Amino acid sequence: MHAQKAKFIGKYCSVQKTRLPLNYIEPEKRTYDINTKGTYSSEIDPHQREIFGWTIDADNPTIKGVLSVYGFSVSRPIKKAEKKQKKDKEGKVTKTWTEYSYSANAKGKGNVYIYGESNPFRYKKKDKKKSKYELKKEAEIKAAKEDLADNPFLTSDDLTETETIKVSVDGDLKEEKLPLIKTIRVDQVKKLTTKSHTSETYAHKELTEKIMPQFDDFERNYPNLAYKQTLSKLNYLYGYAPAYYKFFLKRMRSNKHSEFKTWNDACQAVETLFKTVKYNQSIEDTQSKFDPIINYFSSHVNQLSDSDKKAKKMKKAAFHNLVNILYYLDRHDEVITWSEQKLTSKVLDKIAKRSLEKATRKKAHLAFHKMKNCHIETAKEVEEEEIEVEEVEDENLAEGTNK
């Protein structure tokens, strides 16, 4: 069909949608309250953020979150002395010196206790095998721990960092009427290191004058950082929060190819149309605007043969774009149909398998929440900074960003 091989590059596209929470609670029961306690709780306004799709009811909430921010500690600074040397062309050492630096950690301690009802979405999924990299890192960590434990010159006390501690015990919680569902740690950690200095005195001066004051600021800020993380956790569990989802579109970079302009015009149209999609608005009117684009990419999937080596990349790119567009339009039945048809394709089988698993799971999650798509119609608007950005969901589908 096309004389020239086409080359493609993956570029991000984003769309605003409602993130489905883990738990489903009937709409009429979606009431909550948030309290704070602990030494640092006075720094927090517990109702400055919200669980999306829920209303506050301090007297009779279905869900209650209690954030305890109770302790702050700074580790003993660790000095590092590293010997350096300069060599000439023959490899002879011409200069030696020592560089000094200091590092320290600070930790603000926090727990969030979640009370109320729990009704989590459960989906049967095969256990994912750990990658070679993950297994290697686990082995390295285990070996390092065993090496320290076997050192006759170190005691167990030496293996624990000495800390300057300000209140380190979480106090008892008052009795709650609701059952405790979950306890989540929301510790905040900060690590700082000085620059390397040839003078130990200057390194220590930077530590005391620049590094340690930053820990003072961190101590003041950590309660609200813990609170922000708490609301993120609560929304993950219960809230219908707005989120930007990023995914890859395969754009053509072979500018002499006969389909170059049409293909990239289609991609540009996808990006433009998805920018009009909002998490709190219906997408029914937008769906039909994508149909010409869907027809364009599906025609390439159908017309290009698996046996045509020149068209292999183009077919994969067209199918990749097709299932991504359909997925983020919440047209999951169509993704499933296309994917099942291509499971036996030698070119598209891997993408088809992954897209099938992804769409099947999302369809089940939507059914669990009694929703047709990932959008909740509401007049409520949120500030841009409140909309979280989700990780790229389809890294595997992208198969690299430059192919």
Quick check: 186 pLDDT over 80?
yes
When pLDDT is averaged across residues 186-191 and rounded to a whole number, the result is: 97
350/397 Cα distance (integer angstroms): 8
Instruction: Render pLDDT for 325-378 as a digit per residue (tens, 0 to 9).
Output: 999 999 999 999 999 999 999 999 999 999 999 999 999 999 999 999 999 988
What is the number of alpha carbons within 13 Å of residue 6 lying toward its C-beta? 25
Q: CA-to-CA distance for 330 and 373, rounded, in angstroms? A: 6
- Helix, strand or coil, per DSSP, at residue 87: strand
**Best-predicted range by mean pLDDT (154-158, 325-329, 398-402):** 325-329
Domain boundaries, the chain: 8-20+241-398, 27-237
Lowest mean pLDDT among 3-7, 156-160, 220-224, 383-387: 156-160
- pLDDT given for residue 34 in this prediction: 97
- Distance CA(46)–CA(66), nearest Å, equals 9
Read off the pTM.
0.82
152: pLDDT strictly greater than 70: no
Cα separation, 222 vs 43, whole angstroms: 9
Which two tokens mark 259? 């389909």
User: Which residue type sits at 34?
Assistant: I
Q: Which residue has the higher pLDDT, 300 or 160?
A: 300
d(Cα 19, Cα 242) in Å, to the nearest integer? 6
- Give the pLDDT score at 1: 45
Q: Assign 289 a pLDDT band (cuts: 50, 70, 90).
A: very high
- pLDDT top residue among 371 and 2: 371
Residue with tokens 């990780």, as numbered in its chain: 391
The yes-or-no verdict on residue 6 having pLDDT over 70 is: yes
3-state helix, strand, coil split of the chain in percent (to 5) is 40, 25, 35
pLDDT for the residue numbered 403: 42
Q: What is the pLDDT of residue 332?
A: 97
Q: What is the pLDDT of residue 369?
A: 98
Greatest distance between any 2 Cα atoms in the chain: 80
- Position 105 scores a pLDDT of 96
pLDDT classification of 386: cutoffs 50, 70, 90: confident
